[in-house]
Amino acid sequence: MIANAYYSHEMHEDFVLVSIGRLDLEEGGVLPDCRLAVRTWGRMNDAKDNVVLIPTWYSGTHQIWADAYVGPGHALDPERYFIVCVNQIGNGLSTSPHNTEDSSISMSRFPRVRIGDDVVAQERLMREHFGVERLALVVGGSMGAQQTYEWAVRFPKKVLRAAPIAGTAKNTPHDFLFTETLNEQIWSDPGWNGGEYASNTDVLDGLTRHAHLWGTMGFSTEFWKQQRWSDLGFSTQEAFLVDFLEPYFTAMDPNDLLTMAWKWQRGDVSRHTDGDLAAALGRITATTYVMPISEDMFFPVRDCAAEQALVPGSELRVIDDVSGHLGLFAVNAGFIPQVDRHLSDLLAVPRT
């Protein structure tokens, strides 16, 4: 266990750690005491039919949802819904390589975790801790979208509505390869030391290169061509990289990032149906809006649309945003209003 102030309550507000006990993992490993960092808003009604679940994305926590997506006037309004955001395993707040007190699974010894393990853990949390058997909505972006698909395929009777934003049900070969280049920036730093560094600052160079690659693919070609970084108050492209992206990623723990990247690369609901993606997505009974971002270079609209066509009764709702994948961070003022409109439409669909 190593200290890292980035994962403190000062940086990430109003969350609690909930133990769900021993979690046996798909790859054969074990988390003896799996603790999930959970943020909630609003109140559950007596019928327990107003519950919304939000899984988090790569590098992200509940905080971005608190800052941009949840609140009065939004589709995710705590006055109407009981909203539960669960930080994924390995994200630095829930049980992760850098924060576990169990030396048998700390740092480089942390076991392989899959998207399915997150969803199994979340289902147990919702059922045993909150007493919830069905969810009015599961919504998540990027890796949160992967978890949303996993929920809808794995537990179809428990999910009434699903909104995967900027993510796919089965990761593509190109996305796997690009994620590997992100990982290689960390592995190639001598300070990485096989995952047994003393501090994330030992891997500063690797994390900096990692941040630059996010600039390459996380933001679209049009974002850079149109110099949209100036809309965010930066004077130059270099200033945006150095003062926005670098501080964000260099504060994080390398092992945590790699844990999330490994499961991101292998996200695939078709493993439930012997590799048949159509059969897996055909299991979905949730009313589903698939919501890609128009300029996303990780999860292009065409990839999301091809999957959406396999989901019974689903709709494709494209979010128009020049920012690309990292539009998820609401860097463009026009992003959240589109999300709110689509989610409001989805939540208005009657389901019993």
Whether 344 sits among the annotated catalytic residues: the reply is no
Catalytic residue among 202, 296, 303, 321: 296
Number of other CB atoms surrounding residue 238 within 10 Å: 10
* Spatial contact of 129 and 48, defined as CB atoms under 8 Å apart: no
Axis-axis angle for helices 204-217, 173-187 (nearest 10) = 150
Catalytic residue among 12, 62, 210, 325: 325
Count the residues in the chain.
352
Compute the distance between CA of residue 351 and CA of residue 58 in angstroms, rounded to an integer: 31
Torsion angle defined by CA atoms of residues 294, 152, 55 and 184, in that order, rounded to the nearest 10 degrees: -70
SS (H, E, C) 193-237: HHHCCCCHHHHHHHHHHHHHHHHHHCCCHHHHHCCHHHHHCCCCH
Catalytic residue among 142, 220, 314, 323: 142
Whether 67 sits among the annotated catalytic residues: the reply is no
* Spatial contact of 117 and 25, defined as CB atoms under 8 Å apart: yes
The DSSP secondary-structure symbol of 299 reads S
The DSSP secondary-structure symbol of 295 reads T
CA-wise closest residue to 296 among 319, 271, 266, 268: 319
Which three-class secondary structure state does DSSP give residue 76?
A: strand
CA-wise closest residue to 335 among 322, 316, 348, 344: 322
CA-wise closest residue to 70 among 348, 345, 330, 352: 330
CA-wise closest residue to 94 among 212, 265, 263, 213: 263
CA-wise closest residue to 99 among 28, 7, 194, 191: 7
Whether 142 sits among the annotated catalytic residues: the reply is yes
Which residues face 293 on adjacent strands?
Answer: 319
The DSSP secondary-structure symbol of 339 reads H
* Spatial contact of 178 and 305, defined as CB atoms under 8 Å apart: no
Which residues does the annotation mark as catalytic?
142, 296, 325
